[in-house]
Amino acid sequence: MYAGKLVFAQLIDHLPLHTFRRCVARYRGHHKVKTFSCLDQYLCMAFAQLTYRESLRDIETCLRAQGSKLYHMGIRGQVARNTLANANQVRDWRIYADFAQALIHIARRLYAAEDFGVELDATVYALDATLIDLSLSLFPWWPHQRSRAGVKLHTLLDLRGPIPTFVHITGHHTADVEMLDVLIPDPGAFYIMDRGYIDFARLYRLHQARAVFVIRDKANTRFRRRYSRPVDRNHGLVCDQTIVLTGKHTGTAYPEPLRRIKYRDPESGRMFVFLTNNLDLPAATVPDLYRCRWKIELFFKWIKQHLRIKAFYGNSQNAVRTQIWIAISVYVLIAIIRKRLALETSLYTILQVLSLTPFEKVPIYQLFSPTAVTPIITRHPNQLNLFD
């Protein structure tokens, strides 16, 4: 019988708690705090994400039912709904944002050699945003348009993992392309984007920072072809051109040549037109890179379905941001554990198993290893043997 740590405590062992304490000190998280620390708040919220609790009262009920095990889970303070609600409302959300970034840094090192489907030595990012709808009656403070409000999650995803490397939370009204003003380009990295990020002045700043972009073009882009390269039409390529922009403003915004590649998907028959500032990349690699952008859509779908970010435990802006950042840190923590323990199962399977076993005393790796079950044959005491 394993008499070691609880499964939840084993998860916490993978957290850099010294970094967490620095984040708390940076934003004075323990100012006027007596018993329920920021770590207690984080662990309670992380437990809620892992087990998909519905409300603060649900969190309180579940944890109090296991009161004798809370100390061994790392929770030192008394768990109460009002205390947790107050902590989510007043304690700076940047504590958990910075801590999530620290976990992201660890995860990116672990997944640095991960294959994502395209043979490239450079780092490849996908940039996109997703909307989380909010109720105006519950969240009247959030910037909104007409009768609609929401939280927009702008995410830069490292396709090796995939691990979110940059997350920016804004209101529903913020345009996706504005994130190019906030983003600090990584020289030599590839940025894969959809048509919503077409802004040639901003793309030119990416080019000047020595970053490479691959973006889907719009139908109304005006250009002049300089010359064309031969393409292999058996792979869906239609044309590979070097162009200069000739629009009224685009020619001035992006004065250098661009590469335009037209591609027909053999399966669906749809036509795609891509623009990139890399003039040396094999033409067939550009559609392959854009196809990998679908991983960020899967990431958004995963966190919405399996983490608690579509319904919130608090109505204040600080509580919403705190919950989102803790959810992101839980996602990254699961990815770290998967790599450190060399688990072959998917993140979905790991989360589902961990959601049912936080209070068990079983080594985590044993939860995912195939075990032979020996049937126990019971014999009734009054049953006589047919054969001696």
Q: Is the pLDDT of residue 204 over 80?
A: yes
- Band (pLDDT 50/70/90 cuts) for residue 386 is low
pLDDT of res. 385: 59
Q: Is 318 helix (H, G, I), strand (E, B) or coil?
A: helix
CB distance 25 to 104 below 8 Å: no
Mean pLDDT of the chain: 89
- Band (pLDDT 50/70/90 cuts) for residue 333 is very high
Query: For 97-128, how does the pLDDT look when each residue is reduced to its tens digit (9 = 90+)?
Result: 999 999 999 999 999 888 888 888 889 999 99
CA distance 202 to 224: 21
DSSP-assigned beta bridge partners for residue 276: 214, 259
Longest Cα–Cα distance in the chain: 100
- Band (pLDDT 50/70/90 cuts) for residue 377 is very low
Residue type, 71: Y
CA distance 267 to 236: 10
CA distance 164 to 133: 21
Q: Is the pLDDT of residue 11 over 50?
A: yes
- Band (pLDDT 50/70/90 cuts) for residue 12 is very high
pLDDT of res. 235: 82
ω into 162 cis (within 30 of 0): yes
Give domain limits for the chain: 7-96+312-367, 195-292
CB distance 8 to 359 below 8 Å: yes
Fold of 195-292: Ribosomal Protein S8; Chain: A, domain 1 (3.30.1370)
pLDDT of res. 120: 86
Of the listed ranges 14-28, 181-195, 296-310, the one predicted with least confidence: 296-310
pLDDT of res. 375: 44
